[in-house]
Amino acid sequence: MDNRVAFITGASRGIGRATALAMCKEGYRIVVASPEMELNEEVAGEVRQHQPALVVDLDLCSVASIKDGFAKAMKEFGRVDVLVNNAGITRDGLSLRMKKEDWDLVLQVNLSGAFFAAQQALPFMIRERWGRIINIASVVGQAGNAGQANYVASKAGIIGLTKALAQEVAGRGVTVNAVAPGFIETDMTAKLPEEVKQRMLASIAMKRFGRPADVANAVKFLASDDASYITGHVLNVNGGMYM
């Protein structure tokens, strides 16, 4: 366990950052991957108080960038045991007026990027007969949400991708699961108008918003040996917002 490596996309902030910090305390070496290099370095600095870290400039719209990121991780650490596909963006708008580029970009980053990252991570995991892929989905991928057709489609796609990959690699000692957060206090949700936040809060059974650490703890569990018989599962971390 001491030498396992976790490659985390979107690790510069929010859920990705919380996951990097939670997992390094469990003994994982961390690949901090996102296009926000300054923030990547800040997170890596915090990680290095516990474990080695590598910073990768990752563009999920580019398969070449994804391949290069994994090549750097393999050169630095010689292994990638856990992939956390956390990176995600929004470009919200009503479907009738949604621009093609906003549809394409969200699907490319949130869904295609996750697939191509998994494609790079799997050969080592299969060879070692041990691996964990954990995809960050969303409550809206299960329940839908007006004004987010692109984001909802990408996150529903992540759930389908999780189940397909899980079936393909289950016999090789690799598990593939998803975590579906509800409303988590991050930079992404901070931009929402107050009335939207209050409406969301009213729909949450626990009457509080989630914290990035709530999601990171779920990821940490699914990455652990304790979760070795769980695959193709979607773990809801939403405070009872959707059941």
- Dihedral of CA 243/151/220/216: which sign? negative
Q: Which uninterrupted H or E stretch holds 226?
A: none
Q: Please, which residues bridge with residue 236 across strands?
A: 180
Phi, psi of 104, rounded to the nearest 5 degrees: -60, -45
Catalytic residues: 151
Q: In what order do the strands lie in the sheet with 5-9?
A: 53-57, 29-34, 5-9, 82-85, 131-136, 174-181, 234-237
Answer for the pair 13, 64: CB distance below 8 angstroms, yes or no. no
